[in-house]
């Protein structure tokens, strides 16, 4: 079979800051998926995109080509509208766990395809797999049946969904091209559009523990993704949210499940509750259900009922005891005053080093490992009181975790200005 283009010509075009044609984009994505374009050639093209960028029309076509590389799901047979959420990842970001059942309890189906953690950012599937019996892998038929019956599903994306992205994602990870905004945006949105949801709310994290460290960069990513969703006919909204401080009081798998259940029981940390309800309102409004107050469904137990049914539907036992780490170590406050800073990245790295995360996709994780926080910025602390508790099954990991927490917090005489949880909104 003769090929329509030569990979070197496509690479040169982007290297020389030319706009790629629709035909070039369609071909290069298809040829890479088929193995005709080699990894080293796609690496060179990805680096050219990182350095020279893409126009909105190029990003839209690139995304469409990645969607076309696989199957598209269809939820039109459901009796209720669908709405989904995607977070760009952070530390202590367990929001999907209470959010999916909460939105479902308000009459909107949530088809949540989630991933595993890599590095300091946690993965939703890793958290849920700490529940005995729970399984992440569902067929498309099982997913549709659960959405119809329960209203919410959190599971792994199947191999048939945007396979070009799966291949390119792994390549970007090892070639220094992860940060390319056109490639981040098309990676996220190709999966979400192919998933078939009617509405999508994006939680774009900003700060030390986030992928995007500054608001300008995060805003550009948010606008790019909202444009892609809108162009594809998916009602899309993005919130820029603060990730300079960890969300909630836990970072780790079973630790975060416990905290999520507390939220579903009507308690839990204020920031987790605030972001869960805020995102729920956005998801409901995007699906045309802005007359429903999700805060009520959290208080009256409806969201908890859906959580229990969702966990049971995927083989999990919502009443089972969650794993506990075999060893713990307490880190005490080193002064009197107000905690004014607790760095999300450093806490995330500590949780990762304790065994809660992985360095490579194939690495195992410890269900009970992680960091428990006893104070958040704005809280008054006394010297010697517990500030953090480290959890792990392997005590030899404590030393490296403590190294990552060096200068991770600031205790001052008075509280400084607080960064709002929601920084901006893009629609």
Positions marked active-site: 86, 165, 172, 187, 191
Asked whether 257 and 129 are in contact (CB, 8 A), the reply is no
Residue 329 β-bridge partners: 390
Helix 163-173, helix 181-195: angle, nearest 10 = 150
- With CA atoms as reference, report the closest residue to 122 among 298, 306, 260, 229: 260
Cα separations in angstroms, 52 against 41, 45, 73, 335: 16, 10, 33, 49
Residue 83 β-bridge partners: 199
Q: Which residue has the tokens 């009922």?
A: 305
């Amino acid at each position: 079979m003769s090929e329509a283009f030569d990979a070197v010509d496509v690479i040169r075009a982007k290297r020389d800051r030319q706009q790629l044609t629709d035909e070039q984009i369609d071909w290069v994505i298809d040829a890479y998926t088929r193995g005709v374009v080699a990894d080293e050639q796609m690496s060179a093209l990805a680096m050219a995109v990182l350095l020279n960028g893409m126009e909105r029309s190029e990003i839209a076509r690139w995304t469409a080509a990645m969607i076309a590389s696989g199957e598209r799901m269809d939820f039109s047979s459901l009796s209720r509208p669908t709405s989904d959420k995607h977070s760009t990842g952070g530390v202590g970001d367990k929001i999907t766990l209470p959010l999916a059942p909460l939105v479902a309890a308000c009459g909107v189906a949530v088809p949540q395809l989630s991933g595993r953690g890599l590095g300091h950012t946690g993965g939703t599937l890793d958290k849920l797999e700490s529940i005995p019996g729970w399984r992440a892998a569902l067929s498309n038929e099982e997913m549709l049946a659960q959405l119809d019956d329960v209203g919410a599903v959190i599971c792994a994306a199947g191999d048939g969904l945007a396979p070009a992205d799966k291949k390119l994602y792994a390549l970007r990870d090892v070639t220094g091209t992860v940060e390319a905004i056109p490639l981040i945006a098309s990676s996220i949105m190709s999966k979400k559009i192919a998933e078939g949801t009617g509405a999508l709310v994006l939680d774009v994290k900003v700060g030390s523990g986030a992928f995007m460290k500054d608001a300008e960069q995060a805003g550009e990513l948010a606008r790019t993704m909202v444009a892609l969703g809108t162009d594809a006919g998916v009602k899309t909204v993005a919130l820029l949210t603060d990730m300079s401080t960890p969300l909630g009081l836990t970072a780790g798998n079973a630790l975060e499940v416990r905290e999520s259940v507390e939220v579903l029981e009507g308690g839990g940390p204020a920031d987790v509750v605030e972001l869960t309800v805020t995102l729920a309102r956005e998801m409901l409004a995007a699906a045309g259900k802005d007359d429903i107050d999700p805060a009520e469904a959290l208080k009256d137990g409806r969201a908890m009922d859906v959580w229990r049914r969702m966990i049971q539907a995927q083989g999990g036992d919502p009443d089972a005891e969650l794993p506990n780490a075999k060893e713990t170590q307490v880190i005490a406050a080193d002064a009197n005053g107000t905690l004014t800073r607790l760095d999300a990245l450093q806490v995330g790295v500590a949780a990762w080093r304790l065994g809660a995360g992985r360095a490579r996709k194939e690495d195992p994780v410890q269900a009970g490992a992680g960091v428990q926080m006893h104070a958040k910025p704005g809280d008054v602390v006394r010297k010697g009181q517990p500030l953090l508790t480290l959890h792990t099954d392997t005590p030899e990991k404590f030393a490296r975790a403590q190294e990552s927490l060096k200068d991770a917090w600031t205790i001052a005489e008075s509280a400084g200005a607080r960064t709002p949880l929601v920084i901006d909104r893009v629609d």
